[in-house]
């Protein structure tokens, strides 16, 4: 083998050794060590002197390279390319081939995805008496109550809770502290399966005994006699009757009519805050066909309601 060919061969084998070292996972390959080791393996006795000559001639160059601590290193690592990207070594660095849906030098950026247009579902209708635990028991209650209210307050009114007995207690004073001063209020009560109540346009005021109203009414959404829902308006048109359309006792709950057409949460009886009464037909009209005016609303009188709610228009 000619000297020039041997030199080229030795340099080629060094390059091969460097590549093999990289593939085998060795972190660094010493240039001088790899050249000498490969020359010893390949040269016969006859070329030992040639190897030594090459070594001596290259010592200066090799020592200069080693003095710069030049090593073969792998620019790709497990963390170089993100999101499953594949790293490729290049002479001057590396390049990442990204999986679909990612981009960037290290595949670190997710591409925005455009979802197919969808048809928005129709909005869920909300209750005008949002949160009412009584009206929510039957889907027919609220539409019928809104029908009763339409002549006095119009359509599409919203109603906000100011008092709920099960949450705020059964004290009439608490009712007044929370609802006094609010106009257009609706009282809803439940006794067993009977649902009933009343509306008044005048603001509650615990400091006055009676409230004047021309629009107040009592209603029944479900009664124990099986009559359809009904609305009881003021029985008399005389001014003296309108002046006592509402009884406003500071210590009691809502009270419709001067003769207890509907009196809720009477406080005159010790330890009986829930005690209530009804004698429909005194100041408010009783429905045609009612067998017992004292029980048509709540099923009994006196009675102890399971719940009382008061809402005001907003």
Distance CA 260, CA 231 (A): 17
Task: Please give the share of the chain, as a percent, with pLDDT higher than 70.
Answer: 70
Q: Are 242 and 213 in contact (CB under 8 A)?
A: yes
pTM above 0.75, yes or no: no
What pLDDT digit, counting tens, does each position of 82-137 carry?
888 888 877 777 888 888 888 888 888 888 765 555 565 555 557 899 899 999 99
Q: What is the CA radius of gyration of the chain?
A: 47
Q: Are 248 and 211 in contact (CB under 8 A)?
A: yes
Amino acid 28: pLDDT: 47
- Of 297 and 26, the structure prediction assigns the larger pLDDT to 297
Amino acid 70: pLDDT: 47
Is residue 55 pLDDT above 80, yes or no? no
Distance CA 303, CA 265 (A): 10
- Of 140 and 28, the structure prediction assigns the larger pLDDT to 140
SS (H, E, C) the chain: CCHHHHHHHHHHHHHHHHHHHHHCCCCCCCHHHHHHHHHHHHCCHHHHHHHHHHHHHHHHHHHHHHHCCCCCCCCCCCCCCCCCCEEEEECCEEEEECCCCEECCCCCEECCCCCCCCCCCCCCCCCCCCCCCCHHHCCCHHHHHHHHHHHHHCCCCCEEEEEEHHHHCCCHHHHHHHHCCCCCEEEEEEECCEEEEEEECCCCCCCCCEECCCCCEEEEEECCCCCCCEEEEECCCCHHHHCCCEECCCCCCCEECCCCCEECCCCCCCCCCCCEECCCCCCECCCCCCCCCCCCCCCCCCECCCEEEEEEEC
Q: Are 28 and 18 in contact (CB under 8 A)?
A: no
User: Which range, of 46-60, 168-182, 280-294, 296-310, averages the lowest pLDDT?
Assistant: 46-60
Amino acid 88: pLDDT: 82
Length of the chain: 314
Q: Residue 307 pairs with which residues in a beta bridge?
A: 190
Q: How confident is the model at residue 281 (pLDDT cuts 50, 70, 90)?
A: very high
Reply yes or no: is the peptide bond before residue 302 cis, omega within 30 of 0.
Answer: yes
Amino acid 164: pLDDT: 98
> Within its chain, how far is the Cα of 151 from the centroid?
37
Question: What's the whole-number mean pLDDT along residues 35-52?
Answer: 58
Q: Are 231 and 287 in contact (CB under 8 A)?
A: no
Amino acid 222: pLDDT: 98
Q: Please give the mean pLDDT across all residues of the chain.
A: 82
Q: Are 309 and 134 in contact (CB under 8 A)?
A: yes
CB atoms within 10 A of CB 276: 27
What pLDDT digit, counting tens, does each position of 184-232 carry?
999 999 999 999 999 999 999 988 889 999 999 999 999 999 999 999 9
């Amino acid at each position: 083998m000619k000297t020039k060919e041997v030199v080229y061969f030795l340099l080629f084998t060094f390059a091969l050794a460097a590549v093999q070292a990289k593939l085998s996972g060795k972190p660094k390959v010493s240039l001088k060590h790899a050249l000498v080791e490969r020359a010893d393996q390949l040269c016969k006795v006859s070329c030992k002197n040639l190897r030594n000559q090459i070594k001596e001639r290259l010592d200066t160059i090799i020592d200069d390279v080693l003095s710069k601590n030049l090593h073969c290193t792998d620019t790709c690592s497990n963390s170089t390319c993100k999101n499953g990207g594949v790293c490729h070594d290049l002479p001057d660095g590396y390049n990442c081939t990204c999986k679909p849906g990612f981009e960037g030098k290290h595949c670190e950026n997710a591409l925005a995805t455009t979802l197919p247009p969808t048809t928005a579902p129709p909005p869920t209708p909300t209750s005008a008496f949002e949160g009412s635990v009584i009206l929510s028991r039957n889907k027919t209650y609220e539409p019928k109550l809104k029908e009763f209210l339409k002549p006095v307050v119009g359509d599409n009114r919203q109603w906000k809770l100011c008092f709920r007995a099960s949450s705020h207690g059964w004290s009439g004073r608490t009712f007044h502290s929370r609802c006094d001063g609010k106009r257009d209020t609706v009282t809803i009560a439940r006794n067993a399966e009977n649902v009933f109540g009343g509306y008044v346009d005048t603001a509650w005021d615990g400091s006055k005994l009676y409230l004047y109203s021309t629009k107040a009414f009592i209603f029944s959404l479900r009664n124990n006699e099986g009559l359809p829902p009904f609305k009881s308006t003021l029985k008399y048109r005389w001014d003296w009757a309108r002046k006592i359309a509402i009884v406003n006792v500071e210590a009691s709950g809502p009270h419709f009519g001067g003769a207890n057409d509907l009196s809720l949460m009477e406080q005159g009886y010790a330890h009986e805050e829930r005690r209530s009464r009804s004698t429909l037909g005194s100041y408010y009209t009783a429905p045609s066909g009612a067998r017992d005016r004292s029980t048509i609303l709540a099923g009994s009188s006196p009675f102890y309601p399971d719940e009382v709610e008061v809402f005001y228009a907003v």
